[in-house]
């Protein structure tokens, strides 16, 4: 976790070497200046951001599953943060719909419903193909190289069998695209939708469903490098369809339970 913590000399007769020596030694004996209000606020924000990022990464890597209770006391113990600070992070995650705060019970990793899952993918299909097309018209050679480096990280994680890293990096690829497109509003929206998608996958992943082709991200970058906006849009749309298609989002029957069959002995 990152922490950002932060004399004058007056001489009437000292030689230049003497003054230089004094200047060199002064920092060793001068007490550190106390943090002003701005520095303290920056430090607090940095600590909060570190806790938030650790929890977010755990969600994206499926190390924190939907429905998991976040025990406040345990997090305070592990992070060394106060309850007030942990609650600030919970509030941020709740605002992003990644955590559900239940009065008198605590904080839980959210469990998006089937309808919410469908809405997330509907929103992604509306936004991300257009964003991919936008980036295809503006992408620089440096940005393309950055995307290819990210894909190489995905390949490396896949090669060493690190499924958690593959999941996280695959989601982050979409966030990187949004960052490069240069629209801060869309970037924030996509960050939230990608994180929600990770929760949705943990809940509704369909065993045996065909996974997304591993080369789809590479195909998308190829289209962006060619500045082919139409192709970039089509590949992104198909990619999102593949992700949604790997999930079981069929409605479940939720009628009254059959207590007769439950307690029947015959």
Domain 37-109 in this protein, CATH class: mainly alpha
Extents of the domains making up the chain = 37-109, 114-245
Q: Which helix (H) or strand (E) holds 108?
A: strand 106-109
- For residue 163, what pLDDT is reported? 87
The CA distance from 66 to 182, in Å, is 31
Instruction: Tell me what percent of the residues of the chain surpass a pLDDT of 90.
Output: 68
Residue labelled with tokens 């949705």: 200
Count of alpha carbons within 13 Å of 210, Cβ hemisphere only? 7
> What separation in angstroms does the CA of 220 have from each of 163, 176, 236?
22, 13, 7
Q: What is the dihedral of CA 42, 47, 48, 52, to 10 degrees?
A: 130
Predicted confidence (pLDDT) per residue in 89-147, tens digit? 999 999 999 999 999 999 999 999 999 999 999 999 999 999 999 999 999 999 999 99
Residue labelled with tokens 């995650």: 93
Instruction: Classify 101 as helix, strand or coil.
Output: strand
pTM over 0.85: no
The pairing of strands 69-70 and 99-102 is: unpaired
- For residue 5, what pLDDT is reported? 36
The CA distance from 122 to 229, in Å, is 21
The CA distance from 200 to 247, in Å, is 9
Of the CATH numbers 3.40.50.800, 2.60.40.2220, 3.50.50.60, 1.20.120.530, which one belongs to the domain with range 114-245?
A: 1.20.120.530
Going by pLDDT thresholds of 50, 70 and 90, the confidence category of residue 41 is: low
Count of alpha carbons within 13 Å of 3, Cβ hemisphere only? 6
The CA distance from 213 to 170, in Å, is 12
- Asked if residue 32 has pLDDT above 80, the reply is no
The C-alpha R_g of the chain, in whole angstroms, comes to: 25
Tell me which long-range contacts 95-104 makes (C-beta under 8 A, separation of at least 24): 96/192, 96/195, 97/192, 97/196, 98/56, 98/59, 98/192, 98/195, 98/196, 98/199, 99/70
Going by pLDDT thresholds of 50, 70 and 90, the confidence category of residue 189 is: very high
Q: How many CB atoms lie within 10 A of CB 227?
A: 13
Q: How many CB atoms lie within 10 A of CB 132?
A: 26
């Amino acid at each position: 976790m990152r922490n950002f913590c932060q004399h004058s000399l007056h001489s009437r007769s000292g030689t230049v070497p003497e003054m230089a020596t004094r200047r060199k030694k002064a920092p060793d004996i001068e007490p550190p200046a106390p943090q002003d209000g701005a520095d303290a606020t920056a430090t607090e924000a940095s600590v909060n951001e570190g806790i938030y990022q650790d929890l977010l990464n755990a969600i994206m890597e499926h190390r924190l599953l939907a429905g998991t209770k976040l025990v406040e006391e345990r997090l305070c113990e592990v992070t060394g943060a106060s309850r007030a600070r942990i609650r600030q992070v919970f509030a941020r995650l709740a605002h992003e719909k990644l955590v559900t705060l239940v009065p008198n019970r605590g904080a839980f990793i959210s469990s998006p419903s089937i309808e919410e899952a469908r809405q997330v993918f509907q929103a992604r299909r509306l936004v991300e193909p257009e964003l991919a097309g936008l980036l295809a018209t503006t992408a620089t050679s440096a940005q393309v190289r950055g995307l290819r480096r990210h894909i190489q990280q995905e390949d490396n994680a896949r090669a060493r069998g690190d499924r958690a890293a593959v999941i996280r990096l695959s989601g982050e690829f979409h966030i990187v695209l949004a960052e490069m497109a240069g629209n801060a509003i869309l970037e924030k929206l996509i960050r939230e939708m990608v994180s929600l998608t990770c929760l949705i996958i943990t809940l509704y992943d369909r065993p045996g469903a065909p996974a997304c082709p591993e080369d789809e991200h590479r195909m998308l970058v190829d289209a962006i490098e060619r500045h082919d906006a139409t192709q970039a849009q089509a590949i992104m749309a198909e990619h999102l369809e593949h992700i949604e298609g790997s999930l079981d989002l069929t409605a479940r029957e939720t009628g009254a339970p059959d207590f007769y069959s439950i307690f029947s002995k015959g």
